[in-house]
Amino acid sequence: MTEINASNNEEKSKHSKRHSRRRHSSSSSVSSGRRRRAAQKRCSFVGCILEVLFSFITKIVRLVFQLFYGVKGETMPAITDPILLESATSLARKIRKQEVSSVQVIESFIRRIKDVNPKLNFCVDNRFEEALQEAAEADQLIKSGKHTEEELEKLKPYLGVPISTKDCIAVKGLLHTAGLYARKDLRATEDATAMSLMRHAGAIPFALTNVSEVCMWWESNNVVHGRTRNAYDSNRIVGGSSGGEGCIQSAAASAFGLGSDIGGSIRMPAFFNGVFGHKPSKLVVSNNGQFPMPFSDEQNSFLGIGPMSRFAEDLKPMLRIMAGEKAKELRLDEPVDLQKVRFFYQESDGGGRFVTPVDADLLAGMKRTVEHLRENVKPIAVEKIQLEKFKQSTIIWFANMKDDSGYTFAHQLGDLKVEINPYIELLKWVVGASKHTFIGILTALIDKTQVKYGSNKYKYMVKKRDELREEIQELLGDDGVLLYPTHPTVAPYHNEPIFRPINFSYTGIVNVLGFPATAMPLGQVGSEGVPLGLQVIANFNNDRLCLAVAEELERAFGGWARPEIKV
């Protein structure tokens, strides 16, 4: 009996200890949960304070810039030559029909560049003499009667039409600096693949346009070529990195052009300059011939070369040419009936941290677009939505841009040959001795603080990207498009983006998702005298839906609006 009692007492003691451990564990778990919730509340509180502070600072900064710049800046000289008001597609047709010669067309655009470039600084190199010679050869081919008009349209659809591109897409014989001082004298030895395809289609490269330093900022300014100014208001930015290209198009100084986009570098300049720009579906257009090139296959899928033009009708034939053998994947010749398309629209990112609220003018533009679709197009659906993960666009983009190459932005500033020391460069910049822009140096410093490739946070953000991609794919299917702001504000003043650096998130998120997107103007300038617009996003390889919407909205609202002329 004594043994039994002893045994029972021992079991009771063990049970008591186990129960005590469970209570302690439960208590610890509750305590841990409380600490997490308390920490989250503190973070939320601090975040709210920072958001309020950010909003206050951006408003003060805007006021300071308005006072500094004062009245609207210079605008460009009037457009007096009717050739400059034609689309590239229309000019190609008239050249084939001998209604106008290629030489006449190129001379018109050369004169225009010489008239407006001193004010706007978009053109950084040219091949005017070579282009005129090639134009004469094109005219001679047409006059020879060797091919019919129909044959020429098929073989060389843009025969004799001048084309421009940004200073990071190689054009044989022209500068290939990407705005980097270490490359200031470097010239391309061959065309980038996309330009080669356009040249084969008859287009004649004639001008090279300005970019941001190493193409990684959304104002086009560098120590090699200086700053590009907006044709609507010279106090405003043109965007980046295809800012010079957006500007040359809006100023009617080029028939059409090529841009590239890894975080909005086609779509932001297109928006700020009131023209059309298309970022293709991932991996459709070759990136060969760009600098800098992506370091990984995944980064390569984020980057895309695409068409830019004042006229929507140029985008589809340009994309067909640039896509080469992959054009068939896009089914560009398949008719699009917009009445059978499902439209979704989202007015903002929902409140992304440190992202500026969407301007009232842009919200009004979205409203007009939605009303037009409902009243005139009458599609299957026009539905307002709110994708919550868009709030995290910035961190998703930054994390997904990381790779395991070992190269940093400091290496890119060193032309991939050396890693610059951003701290030393910052000190040199203060005394005017650095060969880099302030924002380039700052970007190199910030790059060191970002999510590390392969870290738990990196993996988490890749997962978030994949979840958002799947959500949008399921939403859009093969017959849906999403209307979304291209940017939360109209074109800011020069240097103002430094105080609102992550506003690019509205475009950047689309790059890491890989979807096609077209930036399109809405036919008018807003209350600040600069263009309004939006972007339309579709599912993979449904670029034709984006382009069809662009053509419809151009018909409805007028598309590119000529910049105001000061007399």
3-state secondary structure of 286: coil
Please report, to the nearest 10 degrees, the dihedral formed by the alpha carbons of residues 389, 392, 395, 398 taken in order: 60
SS3 content of the chain, % helix, strand, coil (to 5): 50, 15, 35
Q: How far is CA 324 from CA 88, 111, 328, 449, 555, in A?
A: 19, 32, 9, 40, 29
Q: Mark whether 13 is an active-site residue.
A: no
Cis before 87 (ω within 30): no
Distance CA(314)–CA(312), nearest Å, equals 5
* Spatial distance between the Cα atoms of 220 and 269, rounded to a whole number of angstroms: 9
What is d(CA 171, CA 176) in angstroms, rounded to the nearest whole number?
Answer: 8
In the 3-class helix/strand/coil scheme, how is 62-96 assigned residue by residue?
HHHHHHHHCCCCCCCCCCCCHHHHCCHHHHHHHHH
Q: What are phi and psi of 222, to 5 degrees?
A: -155, 165
d(CA 410, CA 441): 8
- In the set 101, 196, 241, 242, the catalytic residue is 241
Instruction: Please work out, in degrees rounded to the nearest 5, the angle formed at the alpha carbon of residue 231 by the alpha carbons of 230 and 234.
Output: 50
| 286 in catalytic set | no
**Separation between Cα atoms, residue 277 and residue 271, nearest integer Å:** 8
Please report how many Cα atoms fall inside a 13 Å half-sphere around the Cα of residue 385, on the Cβ side: 20
Distance CA 480, CA 539 (A): 8
**Residue 472, number of CB atoms within 10 A of its CB:** 22
Q: Kindly name the residue from 156, 166, 282, 316 that is annotated as catalytic.
A: 166
| SS3 assignment, position 221 | strand
**Residue 294: is the preceding peptide bond cis (ω within 30°)?**
no
First-last CA distance in the chain = 115
For 136, the enclosing helix (H) or strand (E) is helix 128-144
391 is catalytic: no
CB within 8 Å of 246: residues ≥ 6 apart: 238, 239, 259, 269, 270, 272, 273, 275, 277, 308
Cα–Cα distance between 389 and 512 in angstroms, integer? 13
- How far apart (Å, rounded) are the C-alpha atoms in residues 421 and 275? 38
Rounded to the nearest angstrom, the gap between the alpha carbon of residue 532 and the centroid of all alpha carbons in its chain is 16
Q: Which of 265, 309, 434, 505 is an active site residue?
A: 265
Q: What is the dihedral of CA 531, 549, 150, 108, to 10 degrees?
A: 0
Question: C-alpha 287: how far from its chain's center?
Answer: 15
Catalytic residues: 166, 241, 265
